[in-house]
């Protein structure tokens, strides 16, 4: 039960809106979780890899633009 003076629309605003849509890209042994920015450019959100040196590569850092 929720006890507040705020309207439900104020409390839950943005929960079901158009948030980022995530894509899962496979590149060999790597998995890249990608979201597109407002211009449609794919940007890396998360890298999943069994090889530690993959996390040190600048092109696979979170926020990096992908092609």
Q: What is the pLDDT of residues 5-35, one digit of tens each?
A: 888 777 777 666 667 789 999 999 999 999 9
Q: Which residue has the tokens 């929720």?
A: 2
54 occurs within a structural domain: yes
34 occurs within a structural domain: yes
Write down the pLDDT at residue 15.
Answer: 64
Domain count, the chain: 1
Write down the pLDDT at residue 42.
Answer: 95
5 occurs within a structural domain: no
User: Which residues span the domain enclosing 37?
Assistant: 19-60
1 occurs within a structural domain: no
12 occurs within a structural domain: no
Q: Terminal CA-to-CA distance of the chain, rounded, Å?
A: 47
- Please tell me the number of Cα atoms within 13 Å of 27 on its side-chain side: 16
48 occurs within a structural domain: yes
The helix, strand and coil proportions of the chain, stated in percent and rounded to the nearest 5, come to 20, 30, 50
pTM for the model stands at 0.68
């Amino acid at each position: 039960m929720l006890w507040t003076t705020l309207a439900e629309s104020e409390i839950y605003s943005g929960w079901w809106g158009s948030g980022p849509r995530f894509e899962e890209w496979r590149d060999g042994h790597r998995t890249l979780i990608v979201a597109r920015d407002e211009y449609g450019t794919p940007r890396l959100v998360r890298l999943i890899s069994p090889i530690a040196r993959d996390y040190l590569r600048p092109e696979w850092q979170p926020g990096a633009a992908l092609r």
